[in-house]
Amino acid sequence: MVGVQVDGARHRADLVVACSGRHTRFLDLLAERGFPAPEMSAVRIDLACGTRVVPRQPDDLTRAVAIEVDDPAQSHRMGRMVPAEGNRWIITLGSFHDDAPPIEPAAYEDFARCLPSPLIADVLARTEALTPVLTYRMPTSRRRHVERLDRTPAGFLVLGDAICSLNPLHAQGMSSAALQAQALGRAIARHGLTSPQLARAFYRQAAKVVDAPWRLAAAADFADPCADGPESVGTGLLNRYLDMVLRACRTSIPVARQTLRVQNLLARLASLMTPAMVVRVLLAARRSPAAATNPADREAGSPVG
C-alpha cells in the first residue's frame, strides 16, 4: 500500500490507516488481492434506535447527569436521556428484535410511555421537539480478529469499528477507538512507520484493547435469549458474576465506582475479579434490594447496564 485515491487525486503515504467503520470495504479489497480475510466473531442483536433532541426546561431534573430507563427482565424496550449543550436533551428510545421505535411524534411518545418510568415520556409530552426522529439499526456486533493474521500488506492498517464494532448501547465504541489510536502511536514510536513488524505489533495491542469491551458487551447481549452467535468459553459464568456486580453496585460505593471505571475503559475487567473485590461483591450483592428477586424467577438482565 503506497497511498490512497480521493476524488480522483492520488495521495502517497508511508502508512494508510483505514478508520471507515464496521462496513469498511478495505478488507474485501485486500482479499481480492490475495491477502487472507481475518476470522470474525459476531453476535446478532437486531438493535433499532430512534433519537431526537428536545429543549431542556430550567427545572428538568436539574441534578441529572443522564437518565436510563429499562427493565430487561420484562421488556426489550429501553430509553436514555442525556443533557447536551444549549439546554437540550438528547433522547434515544430503542428495542431489539422487530420492535423498532416509531418515527411519528405521538407514537414515539407512546413508545416511551411503555417504559418502566414515565420520566422520558413526561419530558416528551411537555416540550416541542427540535428535530425529527432519526433512526439507526445495528443487526450484529462484530469483531475481526486481525491479530491472528499471518500476512498483512505493508503500509496498511485498520482501526476502530473496522476491527471491532460494539453494541452502541454500551457506549464504548469511541473510547475503544481512542485507546487503539494510542496503541498505534506506541507501536509507531517503537517500530517506525515503515517497519514490517508494525502491523503485527499494533494488532496484538489492539486486541488487548478491544478484548474487555467485547467480552462485556457480548456477555450482556447473550443475556438476551434471542441473541444469536457462538458464545465464547466462560460467557455464562462471566454473565452470572457481572449480574452480582450490578446488584452490588446498589449498596457498595467502591464496587459501583470500579464498575464505572471498567465500563468506561479506564480500568481492566480483571480489576473486578481481584480477591478483595470478589469479597466486596459477594457481601454487597447479598445486601442489595435486587437480591430479593430470585434470579431463577426472572430472565437474565444486562450485566453492563
pLDDT tens across 238-272, in order? 878 988 898 898 899 999 999 989 988 999 889 99
- How do beta strands 67-70 and 39-55 pair? unpaired
What pTM value is reported for the model? 0.79
Q: Give the pLDDT confidence score for residue 302 in this predicted structure.
A: 37
Domain boundaries, given as residue ranges, for the chain: 3-42+142-222, 43-138, 235-297
Q: Give the pLDDT confidence score for residue 215 in this predicted structure.
A: 84
**Rounded distance between C-alpha atoms, residue 235 and residue 143, angstroms:** 16
Beta bridge partners of 44: 140, 228
Looking at every residue in the chain, the average pLDDT score rounds to: 86
CATH code, 43-138: 3.30.9.30
In this predicted model, which residue has the larger pLDDT, 105 or 242? 105
In this predicted model, which residue has the larger pLDDT, 303 or 126? 126
Q: Give the pLDDT confidence score for residue 301 in this predicted structure.
A: 37
Q: Give the pLDDT confidence score for residue 299 in this predicted structure.
A: 36
List Cα–Cα distances, 256 to 29, 154, 242, 275, 302, in angstroms.
45, 44, 12, 16, 15
Q: Is pLDDT of 204 > 90? A: yes
> Using one digit for the tens of pLDDT, what is the confidence trace for 2-38?
888 888 899 899 999 999 888 888 778 788 889 988 9
Selection from 247, 70, 34 nearest residue 153 by Cα: 34
- pLDDT band of residue 295 (cuts 50, 70, 90) is very low
> Using one digit for the tens of pLDDT, what is the confidence trace for 122-180?
999 999 999 999 999 999 999 999 999 999 888 999 999 999 999 888 888 999 999 99
Please give the average per-residue pLDDT across 83-88, as a whole number: 92
CATH code, 3-42+142-222: 3.50.50.60
**Rounded distance between C-alpha atoms, residue 156 and residue 178, angstroms:** 18
CB 226 within 8 A of CB 75: no
CB 143 within 8 A of CB 210: yes
**Rounded distance between C-alpha atoms, residue 242 and residue 277, angstroms:** 12
Please give the average per-residue pLDDT across 43-62, as a whole number: 90
**Rounded distance between C-alpha atoms, residue 247 and residue 255, angstroms:** 10
Please give the average per-residue pLDDT across 198-224, as a whole number: 87
Other Cβ atoms closer than 10 A to 109: 18
CB 38 within 8 A of CB 151: no
Q: Give the pLDDT confidence score for residue 49 in this predicted structure.
A: 94
Q: Give the pLDDT confidence score for residue 298 in this predicted structure.
A: 37
- pLDDT band of residue 212 (cuts 50, 70, 90) is confident
Q: Is pLDDT of 47 > 60? A: yes
In this predicted model, which residue has the larger pLDDT, 155 or 225? 155
**Rounded distance between C-alpha atoms, residue 46 and residue 221, angstroms:** 10
- pLDDT band of residue 57 (cuts 50, 70, 90) is confident
